[in-house]
Amino acid sequence: MNLNSFFESLANNASRNFKIEQLTEHSNNEVLREVVRLALDPFTQFYQRKIPIYRTDRPKSLELSDALNMLYDLSSRAYTGNAAVAYLTDILEQCTEPKVIERIIQKDLKCGVSVATANDVWMGLIKEYPVMLCSGFEQKLVDKVEFPALVQTKMDGMRFNAIVRDGKVEYRSRNGKEIQLLGNLDDDFIRMAGDVDCVFDGELLVDGGSGVMDRQSGNGILNKANKGTISAKEAAMVRATVWDVIPYAYFVDGYCPIAYGKRFSSLELLMADRKPKKITLVDSVEVDSFDQAKVLFEDLLSQGEEGVILKDKRGVWEDKRAKHQIKMKGELECDLKIVSVESGTGKYEGMLGAIVCESADGIIKVNVGSGFNDDHRKTLKEKDLLGKIVAVKYNARIKNKAGEESLFLPIFVEVREDKDIADTSKEIK
């Protein structure tokens, strides 16, 4: 069985059910199972997201199963730096299926198979990366917040974790993929952590020299870090804003009983004591009522900010959508999955015209043709878009006479390289 061809066949069919059926049919294939695990497991990293240039004319003496075993020397960091690049190059040149190794190294099967899909086929194969998400605004949630509470500026960059263990730091996106920052923030985070293994939670932003770049431009650079193609010059522009710190053991467990007010106070003390150069603390104001929170929200909107997060200081950290941290946003936005791509017409003939997107449960479907610039239309191809998650802004959720649900005035924002699963209809306002 040629696994690269198998993954290509999965990529050419957007149906999740088709992918599950095909994977289930070959679920007894141990090499396939291990490839899927290595590519999707967020706790197995190879620290080499950029694929080196390698020869294709060498004799193929290395079976894929043997090549997989050799990858463990990269994940254990038995090889680092130039030695790791040379080691990976040797594997790619000798392996019978080098393109499969590329998928593993890049932590992307490139066929629309997510952790959830893999676990539907092989129960418990992959531990999902823990992440605490905020809830959308609902008055019933606000009514349960105990004041005084915290109101923090909602950042407009890329969500990330800085994981510091044994004096070393690595960066992960919200879906657990490695973010390569080429050492740019290492000294700051290692100094912040001291001798404690911990995880910092926050947002990455890009400083263009005259201030923080707009979301599309900044996240375009950060997506390169996610793919392992960022340059040293670009990495040097990256800054971090943090709002939480969680002991590592609690983070892996998916639950931390320490109240947020105490965690945030610890973070404030670390910032004041360690004085990092490229890390800032999120703007935070204590409020005594929801009315005060609304005044801050409206003031920040007038300044061009995206919104705020209202946080109950009693809240624990948990691997779920927390009801004690509530988003207040000026515009509606959701994350949808691309299920098909339409070619352009007229002046956009031969280029990208629109993307057809839907919610994770398929209830909301929408054709998105606005928000793309000329560069998007020229460079974004169907093979690169199908199955990807995209952020879409909109004015309202609507329903036609047939009862089919869609979004009013949808606008493309960006491809979410840091996310694998779309929002469900229940999460979309």
Question: Which residues lie closer than 8 Å to 52 by C-beta, 6 or more apart?
Answer: 85, 88, 89, 92
Q: What is the pLDDT of residues 326-365, one digit of tens each?
A: 999 888 999 999 999 999 999 999 999 999 999 999 999 9
Residue 224 reports pLDDT greater than 90: yes
Give the pLDDT band of residue 261 (cuts 50, 70, 90): very high
Q: According to the model, what pLDDT value does residue 247 have?
A: 98
User: How far from 377 is each of 18, 233, 374, 391, CA to CA, in Å?
Assistant: 29, 27, 5, 17
Is residue 62 classed as helix, strand or coil in its secondary structure?
Answer: strand
Whole-number Å distance between alpha carbons of 354 and 342? 5
Residue 98 reports pLDDT greater than 90: yes
Whole-number Å distance between alpha carbons of 171 and 180? 7
Is residue 405 classed as helix, strand or coil in its secondary structure?
Answer: strand
DSSP per position, 12-53: T---HHHHHHHHHHTTT-HHHHHHHHHHH-TT---S--SPPP
Within a 13 Å sphere around the CA of 4, how many CA atoms are in the beta-carbon half? 10
Pair of tokens at residue 148: 């005084």
Q: According to the model, what pLDDT value does residue 121 have?
A: 98
**Percent of the chain at pLDDT above 90?**
88
Q: What is the pLDDT of residues 267-301, one digit of tens each?
A: 999 999 999 999 999 999 999 999 999 999 999 99
Residue 312 reports pLDDT greater than 90: yes
Domain ranges of the chain: 3-121, 133-329, 332-427
- Of 387, 419, 421, 423, nearest to 172 by C-alpha is 419
The angle, 0 to 180 degrees and rounded to 10, between the axes of the packed helices 98-105 and 64-75 is 30
Give the pLDDT band of residue 24 (cuts 50, 70, 90): very high
According to DSSP, the β-strands at 332-343 and 352-358 are antiparallel
Q: According to the model, what pLDDT value does residue 38 have?
A: 97
Q: According to the model, what pLDDT value does residue 304 have?
A: 86
Q: According to the model, what pLDDT value does residue 216 have?
A: 87
Pair of tokens at residue 426: 């229940």
Phi, psi of 112 (to 5 degrees): 80, 15
| Across 206-224, average pLDDT | 93
10 Å Cβ neighbour count for 122?
A: 15
Whole-number Å distance between alpha carbons of 67 and 88? 10
Q: Please, which contacts does 68-71 make with residues 24 or more away whose CB atoms are closer than 8 Å?
A: 68/31, 68/34, 68/35, 68/38, 68/104, 71/38, 71/46, 71/101, 71/104
Whole-number Å distance between alpha carbons of 319 and 340? 32
Q: According to the model, what pLDDT value does residue 331 have?
A: 82
Q: What superfamily in CATH does domain 332-427 come from?
A: Nucleic acid-binding proteins (2.40.50.140)
Q: According to the model, what pLDDT value does residue 139 have?
A: 93
According to DSSP, the β-strands at 198-206 and 158-165 are antiparallel
Q: Which residue has the higher pLDDT, 5 or 14?
A: 5
Residue 52 reports pLDDT greater than 90: yes
Whole-number Å distance between alpha carbons of 122 and 28? 10
Q: Which residue has the higher pLDDT, 99 or 177?
A: 99
Phi, psi of 296 (to 5 degrees): -65, -45
Written out in words, the top-level CATH class of the domain with range 133-329 is alpha beta
**Percent of the chain at pLDDT above 70?**
100
pTM assigned to the model: 0.86
Q: In what order do the strands lie in the sheet with 307-311?
A: 133-135, 321-329, 307-311, 149-153, 284-287
Q: According to the model, what pLDDT value does residue 102 have?
A: 97
Q: In the chain, what is the straight-line distance between the N-terminal and C-terminal CA atoms, in Å?
A: 45
Q: According to the model, what pLDDT value does residue 49 have?
A: 83
| Across 292-317, average pLDDT | 94
Give the pLDDT band of residue 383 (cuts 50, 70, 90): confident
Whole-number Å distance between alpha carbons of 151 and 292? 9
Q: According to the model, what pLDDT value does residue 306 have?
A: 86
Give the pLDDT band of residue 233 (cuts 50, 70, 90): very high
Q: According to the model, what pLDDT value does residue 156 have?
A: 87
Residue 103 reports pLDDT greater than 90: yes
